[in-house]
Amino acid sequence: MESVVNLVGALMALAMLTVAERPADEDQPFGHGKAEYFSSGVEGTLILIAALSIGVAAVDRLISPKPPEKIGTGLVISIAASFVNFGVAVLLLRVGRKRNSITLEANARHLLTDVWTSVGVVAGVGLVVLTSWERLDPIVALAVAANIIWTGIGIIRKSVRGLMDAAPPAEDQHSVWQVLKNHERFGVKFHALWTRQAGARKFISLHVLVPGDWTVQARVSTS
């Protein structure tokens, strides 16, 4: 089931990244960057569904403990899958931050939840083997599910903020002001600065006040 979820998430990410890369047109004059937020929202939802599924199974095992079956095979598959997922997730996260892509970042965090799930599997099974207390397995699973839910909520919250035209991070706004201040020595003033982000693209809107005796030619030469 989790493999199917991963495939759906990856296909959704690919589709939305393709849409986001389309150039601006008459219908979308600011571009299609916001398509990325739909993908990350789906990823966050899939993560929550996976976490809830883990929680339901864990509660059932907590009420009716059962000894783990085929421990050796399960551990080998979980460990191998976690190494693959971790490698891909780190690569996606690095590229996502470099390209400022919330889609790639969400897909990376989705894969990292699989890594945490695998860690929980190994920890839970190992504790059961060492202590013979079967309820430790579902207890660890519930802890893993709680951590995954926190990740999913964070991704969905970030997607909603993007769709609501949230401002870029404070450091980006500070950089904008630093650039504008370089022009204040020429008598130029700025106000009504508004910033927003749509996917990997950032937009700035502001009012520029110049000295009344300036001509267009003077402004260009000063620049």
| pLDDT, tens only, 151-173 | 889 888 888 888 887 777 788 88
Q: What is the pLDDT of residue 80?
A: 84
Q: To which CATH superfamily is domain 2-163 assigned?
A: Cation efflux protein transmembrane domain (1.20.1510.10)
CA distance 24 to 50: 36
68 has a pLDDT exceeding 70: no
DSSP state of 133: -
Domain locations in the chain as residue ranges: 2-163, 170-222
End-to-end, the C-alpha distance of the chain in Å comes to: 59
- Helices 102-131 & 71-98, crossing angle to 10 degrees? 150
Per residue in 81-131, pLDDT tens? 888 889 988 998 898 888 878 888 888 888 888 788 778 778 877 787 788
Residue ranges in 21-69 assigned as alpha helix (H): 35-63
Q: Which residues contact residue 6 at a Cβ distance below 8 angstroms, ignoring those fewer than 6 apart?
A: 110, 111, 114
| Domain 170-222 grouped into CATH 3.80.10.10 | no
**Contact (CB, 8 A) for 54 and 148:** yes
**What does the block give as tokens for 54?**
């883990």
